[in-house]
Structure 1
């Protein structure tokens, strides 16, 4: 019997040497032993320093790796599941940053898409876990960037480490206890207001489409206007009760900005997103509004702002850094020894203002 145990231990160590990381459940099936027997083997080998235990998995230790000078990363071979609404536009760089961090540790990133469909992020997360993911990077399809009434209440029930990406939950919500990494969009909007105020603008509008980013943009815009003692811009009239088409939404935004300039003395605007700004600016100019002479413009996202006919000043969230830091945080959770856990982290990453031509010079310099 002793010889059989030794052979099993040797096989476990050989498999770890080949693969780096093994899920305990998969290893029990492969060795055709009960979970209780395998747990006993894992405890014995961990006590000898031959392997390390993670959340539902084991990884090789320095004593297992050959040669000793090439000790494995503790999360080498781990599978990281990532659920995002899309891999286009904004999230392309978020995913790219996460992939770079994961692959730098010898782990693997697997991506699933929710397409903003209600409840689909949970479906995709469970699918990734069933296929062997050791941890999750999760961007739920919350319309306002935070869960609405009844949303996300079961998000902490999965038995793997989970990091929220570009999302947050209010205090008291179960998801508020999760690690999170997000862009500080309120800071980004406030920096845009501060820059425009420094150029001499006193009435600065915000034209933002409905998205998970919008609430934070409004919060930052309003806070900066108040802090700098600026004049409030006219509030946008309420939209239609039923969802507008993209053309109707754009037409409403155009009319609001034109009226704000011509009738309410607005001389600067923050437009979310780049795509809206690239279409709005030529149309405003065609109706006699000079950009930046009559209206200085800063756009939000900086996906394509620099490619516009008139290069647009833009606030650029550090999307790649968000993905990278979220992945690194999740990997650090997986590497924690069994039974230990560092305090949770809520990390906000500040966007960057990139100044181009659409703001123009200061108003005092332009008047000379």
Structure 2
């Protein structure tokens, strides 16, 4: 199976973490890629604050701890002291690239402002490894935790999540929503409202004169599943009917045949007049689909108005893509600020139970209410670019068909 760019980035980060400092040329050899590819990867990761880059070498940022593997508590204590004796905060993330790179950056910035040290571990979207990774963070001196489990499938939370509610230190669930009534629902959490993001996209396309857009989406992460649920909800809210079943998307570099099938399904919907607009999760899939559709004679935005979901690289497409932008950096920042507040209250002797949640029993007044769990939801925005145009009238379509022939 061909390695994705995100997987290669995580391997690169692991190599730098192990060595502390490495030459870009050596990394290219270790990764089995060309020097040009290695330099491009390093520039992308350095631009996101995940690496420091100087004169052909890269190093692990001193303000961020190890993303995986063992870390010595003595080193954690020394760096914590150097940072002003602030708390040590552990962050479990499913990846250090793409979507979560900005979440991590926001957490890193907030931790630095609070004089805290942030240590990072990556689960590679293996929820069965989340608990061991978290125990490693605790062993490295973490006094509080930001937890973004590596859930992928709908049943992963129930199978791999209850232990999070039993953590011995304050914890904040990061960019994840717990099932109502579950043990995790009593935790602090900060997340994006993807239902709102999808509603923004559908409403924008309808406002341009299109019918309900066709959804093209993955199903391999909590964000992907939330986008799918948000799509069904948006159609209900706006009184619309889906133009067809959701088109299942997969990464082109991992499953080229499945990706091609998704592109063909979208092309068929355009050619038949079933859909004139689409919402595609995620950015990378959207960019590659626009390129492939052009080869098949479907033009964006002339034949198809398209909105991407995530806004990681949407602006860099040949035709800059309109995109829903979850507030990733703000999620990381606010989650860290909430955790620092919990840690400060705990250090001051305020009542509360582990997991960052106040005691549910006894007490009166506003002080007791301040200990209540907080569910902070941030709204995505819509960044309008060149990939969305108004729906064509019948005369517009007739003129194009007369000039170029019917779409097939």
Instruction: Report the TM-score range of the alignment, normalised by the length of the smaller protein.
Output: 0.7 to 0.9
1:1-368 → structure 2 map (5 Å cutoff): 76-144=85-153, 147-210=156-219, 211-236=221-246, 245-263=254-272, 265-336=274-345, 337-340=348-351, 341=358, 342-361=371-390, 363=392
**Distance (Å, rounded) in 1 between the aligned partners of 2:118 and 2:337:** 12
Can you list the C-alpha shifts for 1:197-229, whole angstroms capped at 9, x where unaligned? 100111311101122212211222122222222
Can you list the C-alpha shifts for 1:12-68, whole angstroms capped at 9, x where unaligned? xxxxxxxxxxxxxxxxxx9xxxxxxxxxxxxxxxxxxxxxxxxxxxxxxxxxxxxxx
Can you list the C-alpha shifts for 1:73-127, whole angstroms capped at 9, x where unaligned? 9x95210000101111111110010011111011110111111123212111111
**Distance (Å, rounded) in 1 between the aligned partners of 2:322 and 2:92:** 31
**Distance (Å, rounded) in 2 between the aligned partners of 1:101 and 1:182:** 16
TM-score in terms of structure 1 length: 0.74
Please tell me whether the aligned partners of residues 174 and 190 of structure 2 are also in contact (alpha carbons under 8 angstroms): yes
- Secondary structure of the 1:154 match is helix
CA RMSD of aligned residues (A): 2.8
- Secondary structure of the 2:333 match is helix
**Distance (Å, rounded) in 1 between the aligned partners of 2:246 and 2:279:** 14
Alpha-carbon deviation of 1:237?
7.1
**Distance (Å, rounded) in 2 between the aligned partners of 1:148 and 1:89:** 22
Can you list the C-alpha shifts for 1:309-334, whole angstroms capped at 9, x where unaligned? 11110011111000000000101110
Please tell me whether the aligned partners of residues 203 and 265 of structure 1 are also in contact (alpha carbons under 8 angstroms): no
**Distance (Å, rounded) in 2 between the aligned partners of 1:332 and 1:338:** 13
Q: What residue ranges of structure 1 are gaps of 5+ in the alignment?
A: 1-29, 31-72
Shift of the 245–89 alpha-carbon distance from structure 1 to 2, 3 Å rule, reads closer
TM-score in terms of structure 2 length: 0.67
Can you list the C-alpha shifts for 1:132-162, whole angstroms capped at 9, x where unaligned? 1100000111114774443212212121001
**Distance (Å, rounded) in 1 between the aligned partners of 2:176 and 2:96:** 16
**Distance (Å, rounded) in 1 between the aligned partners of 2:388 and 2:248:** 28
- Secondary structure of the 2:91 match is strand
**Distance (Å, rounded) in 1 between the aligned partners of 2:141 and 2:267:** 54
- Secondary structure of the 2:159 match is coil
Alpha-carbon deviation of 1:258?
1.1
Please tell me whether the aligned partners of residues 127 and 156 of structure 2 are also in contact (alpha carbons under 8 angstroms): no
Alpha-carbon deviation of 1:238?
7.8
Structure with larger Rg: 1
Shift of the 139–200 alpha-carbon distance from structure 1 to 2, 3 Å rule, reads same
**Distance (Å, rounded) in 2 between the aligned partners of 1:129 and 1:303:** 31
- Secondary structure of the 1:102 match is helix
Shift of the 325–235 alpha-carbon distance from structure 1 to 2, 3 Å rule, reads same
Alpha-carbon deviation of 1:364?
6.4
